[in-house]
Homo-oligomer: A and B are copies of this chain.
């Protein structure tokens, strides 16, 4: 411990983790995120960014291989680097993948499922790894990716898309584990991954496609790092804390060095991550949960509601306050009023609940106009450790109801049930034009049985 760097400690842990070291609840949660990611990839498979990247895979990659595109429109198999390039893009594009919202220092910077699972699946298929090996490698990569993201911290996140910059290192660790690299080779892979770390937020300025590029390329680049390390390419030994490394070059503010290796093998980041349950902006989720609870408890229907006041935290007002009316399906998910209207009318706000037709629905638009947001000082103080929400509903009858939630549904404290994950997966698959429901049954069954699978091929292809 004294003589080695934190990066060496992390790499050694990553190389040595065994399936039997992983607590069962972590195994189960890993399977939950895996199925969730598969659903996201199927939902995103028709996006133009995904299609462009798939065409690159067709042109530049082999015409066949052991690794499958996750039910892409283009049915072909390829090498793991290219399969993960495309799957890493498709699983991120509908914005329904995981997040990590509880960390005090740096909320929202751990959403690594979209890179770890696509890369792990592609490599495991190539190497014919077992379900147990797959799960172990995913736990390794998720842990490494999240810890690097936490190390890089908030000021990094303001400039860089840390899903990718931490993610590429997580992918390298996952791939290294599947390749059975030793600690030295894993350290080398982490180094080569880190020197490729990239991803800027500039795409937010004009809604261009870099977000998918970042996750797809994080997969590709992390796989490159691990395979080339196996074949003798040496990566820098301390790409995190070295004098010319990521902490210096990519972090304008403070890093969190202890995040690299504190409580390794005791805490598992998978257990601290959240699912996105509703398909809207995450900042609407506590209010949606509170409203749905309120309506159910008090037997209030969509048509009974005269007005809604939501009490929330400042960060939600900052983001949602800019949304306007919501002229497109995407924009409408950032309007608190419209999202609550959808939830109230449909009883849920899943990806298939936001449609072009809904944008023209006068009853939804009318409801939207009767929703107001207010800052709540207590809720704001508790954020981001707790994503709380309170709604106050005034009914046309004059009755008034109030309901609060302490956590958003999908948070570690309020996890999705298996049944809910299945529902979300089915909605994502339908959104992706996946018509064969028996195929979805089979995917779900295999995911829940993952640790007993001898092979991860043929999963959804």
Q: A202 near B: Cβ within 8 Å? A: yes
Pair A245/B202 contact, Cβ less than 8 Å: yes
Pair B200/A239 contact, Cβ less than 8 Å: yes
Bound Cα distance from A239 to B204, whole angstroms: 11
Q: How many residues of A contact B (CB 8 A)?
A: 63
A60-B82, A201-B244 known; A237+B51 contact, CB < 8 A: no
Within 8 A of B (CB), among A33-59: 48-49, 51-53, 55-56, 59
A49-B233, A205-B244, A232-B51 known; A195+B214 contact, CB < 8 A: yes
On chain B, the residues within 8 Å of A234 by CB distance are: 48-49, 206, 208-209
On chain B, the residues within 8 Å of A244 by CB distance are: 159, 200-202, 204-205
Within 8 A of B (CB), among A234-267: 234-239, 242-246, 248-249, 252
Pair B196/A209 contact, Cβ less than 8 Å: no
Bound Cα distance from A66 to B24, whole angstroms: 50
On chain B, the residues within 8 Å of A200 by CB distance are: 194-195, 236, 239, 244-246, 249
On chain B, the residues within 8 Å of A198 by CB distance are: 195-198
On chain B, the residues within 8 Å of A206 by CB distance are: 234, 236-237
Interface pairs (23), CB distance under 8 Å: A49-B234, A51-B232, A52-B229, A52-B232, A56-B231, A60-B223, A62-B62, A159-B244, A159-B248, A191-B202, A192-B209, A195-B200, A196-B198, A198-B198, A200-B244, A200-B249, A201-B249, A203-B235, A205-B242, A206-B237, A208-B236, A217-B221, A217-B224
Q: Give A residues with C-beta under 8 Å from B.
A: 48-49, 51-53, 55-56, 59-63, 79-82, 159-160, 188, 191-192, 194-206, 208-210, 213-214, 217, 221, 223-224, 227-229, 231-239, 242-246, 248-249, 252
* 4 pairs of A and B residues whose beta carbons are closest in the complex: A52-B233, A201-B244, A208-B234, A52-B231
